[in-house]
């Protein structure tokens, strides 16, 4: 009985972890889509800001 309980618990943990990973991946996709929309609506000013931040990060 004890062994079966461990198998069930580990299966539930794996399910929760995989669900969380796919959920966070979906959130990341929506976030990057939002950034793309903002970038287009601001006519590249955010893209220039991103490039500047990358240069600062690369120099550091």
Q: Is residue 1 part of a domain?
A: no
pLDDT for the residue 43:
59
Residue 12 lies inside a defined structural domain of this protein? no
User: What CA–CA distances, in Å, run from 11 to 8, 20, 53?
Assistant: 5, 14, 43
Is there a domain that residue 11 lies in?
Answer: no
Q: Work out how many domains the chain is built from and give that number.
A: 1
What pLDDT is recorded for position 10?
Answer: 92
- Which residues span the domain enclosing 39? 25-60
57 is a domain residue? yes
- Non-local (6+) Cβ contacts of 46 within 8 A are 35, 38, 39
Tens digit of pLDDT at every position of the chain (60 positions): 567 888 889 999 999 988 888 888 888 888 888 877 766 666 556 667 777 777 776 544
Q: Is residue 53 part of a domain?
A: yes
Whether residue 55 lies inside any domain: the answer is: yes
Q: Say if 51 falls within a structural domain.
A: yes
Is 31 part of any domain? yes
């Amino acid at each position: 009985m004890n062994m079966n309980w461990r198998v069930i618990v580990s299966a539930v943990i794996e399910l929760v972890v995989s669900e969380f990973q796919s959920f966070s991946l979906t959130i990341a996709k929506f976030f990057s889509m939002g950034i793309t929309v903002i970038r287009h609506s601001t006519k590249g000013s955010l893209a220039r800001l991103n490039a500047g931040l990358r240069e600062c990060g690369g120099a550091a």
